Amino acid sequence: MEPDLIRGSDGRRRCFWGAADEAMQAYHDGEWGFPVTDDRRLFEKLCLEGFQSGLSWRTILLKRPGFRQAFANFDIARVARFDKKKVEALLRDESIVRHRGKIESVLNNARKALDLVEERGSLAAYVWQFEAPASRRRPRVTRASLQATSSESIAMSKDLKRRGFSFVGPTTAYAFMQAMGLVNDHMHGCPVRAEVERARRRMRRPV
């Protein structure tokens, strides 16, 4: 059986996926799983998870600076104003993943996100309603127990699709939840797991 934790180049133990190189180590240690309530970051991650479909997260992570430049730092209102001419320009941008459907999805989802912000006050308020109740949060996560979806990610995906979002299937929604801290799926024994739990206890849930 493959191990839950591996040691990185710095000797620190991490979740099995998080020690491939310095970029992945930094992402694992400082971002993944920590709770996020900033609308720009939430929108960025939702978009990048869509781009990741069929690719590795490492590929997307290394291109993230290019994505941020190309998509106005994922400012929702600015992206919502992108037009067909901008799509054609993005399809020539080698710093991002040049997939017409995924690029057009970002523009569509920005417009739908603006509707959500108008309705709920913030994208964060909408997203965090899908956090699992305490009774369904797992105190111990292992590689063998990892899941690709949850009842909450299925509900989020269904509701986003109903609202007109695209590239937001249940697996994409769950990966988004993992990364943005709605669940803590750091492996049992990973030092970052306890850090994430402390951050989750301190955070103020958006309403």
pLDDT in tens, 20-33: 899 999 999 999 99
pTM (2 decimals)? 0.96
Q: What is the pLDDT of residue 161?
A: 98
Q: Which of 17, 22, 32, 57 is catalytic?
A: 57
**Residue 37 in contact with residue 203, Cβ under 8 Å?**
yes
| Annotated active-site residue in 2, 17, 22, 27 | 27
Please check the confidence at residue 1 and state whether its pLDDT lies above 80. no
> SS3 for 7?
strand
| Alpha-carbon gap, residue 114 to 27, rounded angstroms | 28
Active site residue 31: no
Nearest residue to 99 via CA among 174, 166, 169: 166
Residue in 2, 31, 44, 49 annotated catalytic:
49
pLDDT band at 126 (very low <50, low <70, confident <90, very high): very high
End-to-end CA distance of the chain: 43
Tens-place pLDDT, residues 137-186: 888 999 999 999 999 999 999 999 999 999 999 999 999 999 999 999 99
Q: Is 126 a catalytic residue?
A: no
Q: How many CA atoms lie within 13 Å of 6's alpha carbon, on the beta-carbon side? A: 14
